[in-house]
Amino acid sequence: MSMFGLGGGGAQSAPQPSSAQIEAATAELDMITDVFNRIVSSCHNKCISTRYHEAELNKGESVCVDRCVAKFFTVNAKVGEQMQKMGGAAAGGGGGGGGFF
């Protein structure tokens, strides 16, 4: 985790100057970390052997992880596209067009 050294999720605990800009930046941060954590977890489940004979990623696992991340992004974009197509402004509500950083 800790992509960009950031943490994800949880309650906003910023009682200090809370401008709209800060809120927007915080939301963006939350979204990016959330996606990152999902990718880490999903690709770990899909690519990493749980036998743990060694601490290194082997060649197959490394290649798998690389492809897994790329594929996740493609799927992310595709789902966003489809949702935009079908929902647009009407049905989208908060979720429409999601998945674009």
Partner 1 sequence: MDFSSFSSAEQQAMQRVIENKQRLDFMRLYAGLVERCFDSCCNDFTSKALSTKEDTCVSNCTLKFLKHSERVGARFSEENAKMMGQQSK
Residues at the site binding partner 1, with contacts judged by CB under 8 A: 1-10, 12-14, 16-19, 21-22, 25-26, 28-29, 32-33, 36, 39-41, 43-44, 47-48, 50, 52-57, 61-62, 65-66, 69-70, 73, 77, 100-101
* Smallest distance, partner 1 to C-beta of residue 93, A: 23
Two tokens, residue 36: 């990152």
Two tokens, residue 82: 């489809």
Task: Rank residues 10 and 90 by Cβ distance to partner 1 and give the closer one.
Answer: 10
Phi, psi of 3 (to 5 degrees): -65, 135
* Smallest distance, partner 1 to C-beta of residue 83, A: 17
The answer to whether 83 touches 97, Cβ cutoff 8 Å, is: yes
* Smallest distance, partner 1 to C-beta of residue 7, A: 3
CB within 8 Å of 4: residues ≥ 6 apart: 32
Task: Give first-to-last CA distance, the chain, whole Å.
Answer: 18
Task: Rank residues 81 and 91 by Cβ distance to partner 1 and give the closer one.
Answer: 81
* Smallest distance, partner 1 to C-beta of residue 86, A: 22
As a whole number of Å, the CA-based R_g of the chain is 17
